[in-house]
């Protein structure tokens, strides 16, 4: 018998699968990593069909702790002498990646504790209770204090090394380095204007020469130069990297295909993404030269040349290695006569960029280049200059490390989240939850009862009279937007008219809370905060509260059955808290409404008892 197990299944069905597997009635089970966490279900053999997982932002290799947790299920005590683990690789995995995944140490246990507004309000309303005392007693504070001696020792060691470094002509070398940094920033501003799609698109012709760079991970304004390449073509692509079709309202970017030469780690490097397994090729270095067409974004192009290859050269089939080699050799031959590189398109004369926009930056760039040429560093012998700059950059790097360590030391000596507490108190005062003396007001008493959703937004909705004016079915729908925390899709949700106004009021309340946070100097993206309230399940909960069958709900959405059940159960919990909050302020009419909504959604398979009880 073969079974499946994942978080989107009906809870009862998941439990049936677990019981069957535990009794040995399932010979093969296809499961996600949830099956390896929190339940004791050993197996004879564990097979990984993939060694990458999606973490919400990108696909990455499994962490050692995740691999240990899942592979550790192999081998049944008393039945197997050993457990068997099979890795099915469908893509290249480097030996170091594999070694780290299998033998690497599990991630250290670090505190992720943060104080919520509900927690802060509950401590503020109890006499003698102090949020600062809670912070001082937290594991987070303990970790900081334990790390303090090591941080101080590292800082002292680096300081001793810095004092031992001598830099020849240090004042001028430092001035030179500062001007170079300023020049990089000015060039960065110029490039951000020149390589805007509106100015540059018409010049992205097939056969045009351009330099290709990528950002330096060690310096925000430094670049890694891959040299000159050949533009093959360009296309529009979704900015979020998804491969689905182009849709109105979705941000698009231009992606340019460029034939470049780079040094690869080995012959199998595919060059599918700029910077991955690639580094600039230096002739005579002994590196392996690879010539391939690589997709490049506009911000990675530099010095778009006035020169284009002739039509005969352009027609070569670049799928053939010989054609790619021939074209790159032609570019290299042309560069021998132009050591300074090919002449670039003029931003004003060719690209038609308004002079008022670009000219001040061009003049600033020219002035900085003049300042560089006037420094006495230029007159130093090359060997002395190289030695001085190497020593200066080593010293500069160490000073940056010292500064970072000093900030960590200062943070470790102070109370964790002390500044956050001050800002959160400001937010509570601005929204009327507490007065200037931190005495809890009526709104604060409501927020004290809510901890399963955003307490500030829910309180704003209650005091704005939003729930009072709605039917129980509308209330069930609106509360689902407070509970459904999955990321919104790009497509706009087509809500029925009866639900549009309630959700608009929710967004207004969320915007007011975000504005109060911004006024209190809390680092928050107001748009992202409002967007986290997802209306996709509002029609589903509206029909469920109206008496619809669960099978009909499943037809209304792409969400898994288990996800729908988790949402409804969470909403029932939030409704109980809203009912308690209404009782706390003496609003019995609103309490009865929340109780009625809770009764309407608390039914059928959604609240079926667990098989383990």
Q: How far is CA 580 from CA 117, 319, 400, 449, 584, in A?
A: 17, 69, 53, 7, 6
- Alpha-carbon distance of 540 to 495, in angstroms, equals 11
Residue 567's pLDDT band, with cuts at 50, 70 and 90, is very high
Domains in the chain: boundaries:
2-103, 192-354, 421-607
**Helix pair 588-601, 538-545: axis angle to 10 deg:** 90
DSSP 613: -
Label residue 401 left, alpha or beta by phi (over 0 means left) and psi (-120 to 50 means alpha).
Answer: alpha
Q: Residue 505's pLDDT is what?
A: 95
pLDDT at 575 over 90: yes
Q: Residue 266's pLDDT is what?
A: 47
- Alpha-carbon distance of 502 to 456, in angstroms, equals 17
CATH topology of domain 2-103: Rossmann fold (3.40.50)
Nearest to 320 by CA among 265, 362, 374, 259: 259
- Alpha-carbon distance of 338 to 356, in angstroms, equals 31
Task: Judge contact between 271 and 290, C-beta under 8 A.
Answer: yes
> Region 285-302: what's the mean pLDDT?
80
- Alpha-carbon distance of 97 to 595, in angstroms, equals 54
Q: Residue 277's pLDDT is what?
A: 57
> Region 234-248: what's the mean pLDDT?
60
Q: Residue 220's pLDDT is what?
A: 56
> Region 36-59: what's the mean pLDDT?
85
Q: Could you tell me what percentage of the chain is helix, strand and coil, using 3-state DSSP and rounding each to the nearest 5? A: 50, 15, 35
Residue 375's pLDDT band, with cuts at 50, 70 and 90, is confident
CATH number of 421-607: 1.10.3380.30
Q: Residue 219's pLDDT is what?
A: 61
Residue 268's pLDDT band, with cuts at 50, 70 and 90, is very low
Q: How far is CA 443 from CA 251, 428, 456, 459, 574, in A?
A: 40, 9, 9, 7, 17
Other CB atoms within 10 A of residue 579 CB:
20
> Region 220-242: what's the mean pLDDT?
75
CATH topology of domain 192-354: Elongation Factor Tu (Ef-tu); domain 3 (2.40.30)
> Region 376-396: what's the mean pLDDT?
86
Q: Looking at 122-126, 264-268, 602-606, which range is the least confident one?
A: 264-268
> Region 561-587: what's the mean pLDDT?
95
Which tens digit of pLDDT belongs to each residue from 481-534? 999 988 777 677 889 999 999 999 999 999 999 999 999 999 899 999 999 999
pLDDT at 450 over 60: yes
pLDDT at 250 over 80: no
Nearest to 124 by CA among 460, 451, 584, 437: 437
- Alpha-carbon distance of 104 to 100, in angstroms, equals 4
Q: Strand 59-61 to strand 45-48: parallel, antiparallel, or no bridges (unpaired)?
A: unpaired
The residue with greater pLDDT, 313 or 612, is 612
> Region 281-294: what's the mean pLDDT?
74
């Amino acid at each position: 018998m073969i079974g499946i197990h994942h978080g989107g299944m009906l809870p009862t069905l998941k439990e049936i699968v677990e019981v069957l597997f535990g009794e040995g009635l399932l010979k093969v089970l296809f499961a996600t990593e949830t099956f390896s966490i929190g339940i004791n279900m050993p197996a004879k053999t564990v097979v990984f069909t993939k060694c990458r997982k999606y973490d919400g932002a990108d696909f990455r290799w499994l962490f050692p702790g995740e691999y240990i947790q899942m592979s550790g299920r192999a081998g049944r005590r008393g039945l197997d002498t050993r457990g068997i683990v099979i890795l099915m690789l469908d893509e290249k995995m480097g030996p170091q990646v594999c070694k780290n995944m299998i033998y690497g140490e599990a991630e250290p246990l670090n505190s992720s504790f943060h104080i919520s507004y509900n927690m802060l309000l509950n401590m503020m309303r109890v006499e003698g209770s102090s949020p600062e005392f809670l912070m001082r007693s937290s594991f987070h504070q303990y970790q900081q204090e334990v790390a303090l001696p090591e941080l101080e020792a590292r800082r002292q060691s680096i300081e001793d090394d810095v004092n031992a470094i001598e830099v020849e002509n240090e004042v001028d070398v430092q001035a030179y380095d500062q001007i170079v940094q300023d020049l990089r920033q000015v060039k960065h501003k110029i490039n951000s204007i020149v390589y805007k799609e509106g100015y540059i698109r018409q010049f992205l012709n097939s056969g045009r020469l351009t330099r290709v760079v990528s950002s330096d991970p060690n310096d925000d304004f430094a670049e890694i130069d891959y040299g000159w390449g050949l533009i093959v073509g360009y296309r529009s692509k979704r900015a979020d990297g998804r491969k689905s079709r182009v849709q109105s309202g979705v941000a698009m970017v231009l992606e340019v295909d460029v034939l470049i030469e780079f040094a690869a780690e080995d012959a199998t490097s595919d060059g599918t993404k700029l910077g991955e397994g690639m580094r600039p090729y230096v002739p005579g270095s002994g590196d392996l030269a690879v010539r391939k067409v690589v997709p490049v974004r506009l911000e990675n192009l530099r010095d778009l040349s006035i020169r284009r290859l002739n039509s005969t050269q352009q027609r070569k089939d670049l799928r053939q290695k010989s054609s790619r080699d021939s074209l790159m050799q032609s570019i290299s031959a042309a560069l021998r006569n132009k050591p300074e590189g090919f002449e670039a398109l003029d931003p004003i004369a060719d690209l038609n960029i308004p002079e008022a926009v670009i000219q001040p930056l061009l003049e600033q760039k020219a002035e900085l280049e003049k300042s560089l040429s006037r420094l006495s560093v230029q007159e130093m012998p090359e060997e002395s200059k190289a030695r001085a700059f190497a020593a200066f950059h080593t010293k500069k790097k160490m000073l940056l490390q010292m500064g970072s360590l000093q900030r960590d030391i200062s943070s470790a000596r102070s109370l964790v989240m002390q500044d956050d507490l001050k800002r959160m108190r400001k937010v509570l005062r601005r929204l009327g939850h507490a007065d200037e003396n931190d005495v809890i007001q009526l709104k604060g008493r409501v927020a004290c009862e809510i901890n399963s959703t955003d307490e500030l937004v829910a309180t704003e909705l209650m005091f704005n009279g939003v729930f009072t004016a709605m039917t129980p079915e509308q209330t069930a729908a609106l509360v689902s937007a407070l509970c459904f925390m999955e990321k919104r899709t790009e497509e706009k949700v087509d809500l029925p008219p009866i639900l549009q106004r309630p959700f608009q009021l929710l967004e207004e309340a969320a915007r007011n809370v975000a504005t109060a946070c911004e006024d209190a100097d809390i680092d928050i993206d107001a748009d992202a905060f409002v967007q986290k309230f997802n209306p996709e399940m509002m029609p589903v909960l509206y029909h469920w509260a109206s008496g619809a069958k669960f099978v009909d709900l499943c037809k209304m959405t792409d969400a898994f059955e288990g996800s729908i059940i988790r949402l409804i159960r969470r909403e029932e919990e939030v409704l109980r808290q809203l009912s308690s909050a209404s009782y706390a302020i003496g609003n019995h009419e609103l309490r009865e409404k929340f109780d009625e909504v809770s009764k309407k959604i608390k039914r059928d398979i959604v609240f079926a008892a667990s098989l383990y009880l």
